[in-house]
A and B are shown apart, each in its own frame.
Chain A
Amino acid sequence: MAPALKLLVQRVALGLMLLFLVSALIFVGTQILPGDVAQSILGQSATPEALANLRQELGLNEPALTRYFDWLFNALQGDFGTALTNGQDIAHSVGNRLKNTLFLAFWAAVIAVPLAIFLGLLAVRFRDRWPDKLISTVTLASISIPEFLIGYLIMYFVAVKLRWFPSVAMINDGMSLGEKLSSIAMPVMVLTLVVLAHMMRMTRAAILNVMQSAYIETAELKGLNRFQVIYRHAFPNSIAPIVNVVMLNLAYLVVGVVVVEVVFVYPGMGQYLVDHVSKRDVPVVQACGLIFAAVYIGLNMVADVVSILTNPRLRHPK
């Protein structure tokens, strides 16, 4: 187990280091670029006195490095400061919205992951026949269609024409689970469609890659039937690549959520971020950017950790 453990520790350490560097990058990205926060808040016509006062108030006269570490340590303790636009505690607003976003992403994943793997297997089973061709056509189309088009198409037909669901996905704590699910049905549908094709295609490629290995031929030449070949020989070697596919797509989902939330006016992180970007509310943008990046890096890390854990060479060293 020793080499696997070493790799594991290395991978997690790398993830943490990446996160640290990303936080620095986000901080730098919002600080060193032209104009400062005070100018953004007050606009071009602000008097020099007002600017100086606000700078003092926001601590902008401190050296950048000090401000960065203050920000980072506070963020690590869950304190992201207050929003410039309305003076609310960011951590509090983020908390609720993060919960909503995760709720949405969770249900999208619950539907999309098994469906994508199932359809991916189907494509492999019927390789080069119509189900496979259909899947590759749909994939081509889906990487070419922006998320908001899928969103509005569904809204136009399902909510406006068919009137099955409300066109806006409102959600609050007072709702029962059923009500919540009905409310997020359309955004979940869109997110599922957004990742489904990608995930299907990648699953197909991952399994085909395994199916082309020489040991699959060995299994076929043992007289095993197709199901036994897949179950006994292809499956154990497909876990790592499939988990990888799933994680990559969940990471993709995190980005897709931003647009979908805006389309359906869903009170989640994505909408919160977009709102405050246009208002140039830098502390909020930093906090949201950091959280999105952390989730993204985290998912990628999980994918690598799984592939380390399922690698027979590492699990059973010489």
Chain B
Amino acid sequence: MAASDFSHLIAAAADTIALHAEELTALDQAIGDGDHGLNMKRGFEAVRAETDAIAAKPLPDALKALGTKLVMTVGGASGPLFGTLFMTLGKELPPVPDRAALASALGKAIEAVSARGKSQPGQKTMLDVLQPVYEALAQGKTASEIVDAADHAAEATVPMKALRGRASFLGQRSIGHMDAGARSTALLVRAVAEAIEGS
């Protein structure tokens, strides 16, 4: 991937997080501690500020640098979780990945996020979006089908009962709200898919 393409991906990701920061915070206020939107925005703006340095690296190193930046700047549990996602993608992907390599790396990244958060799909977290995205990717679905799968998966967290994270303290009361981390994951999937399709 050329440096300009990775710059484009960073801009697309940071833009969608900034655009939806208030919505993410509102989702998190309903069943969490209400800082998800602001935290994610801070992290992605910090990444955006270093776009040139990050995008100049080969893809694996660029992803690792992006993940590390998120870990250091998000300032909540989302930092290590999203950071681990990108850092593991960086560790697993070859410099010029094809779809099979992308699917395989995402599978490894999901395992790493799962270990970091001590969580599994079905517990109302970002994993509930990542898992179907991985499956769609592995099954050869189109970019728009993958984006749809992510959006549906985020919606599907609404009736779930939270079993991990701050929302789990609320037990039954977590039912009826979308998980903020699932929503931000779906937003990032859309941004990345559209940026890759458009390039």
**A-B complex is real:** no
Chain A contacts to B: CB under 8 angstroms: none
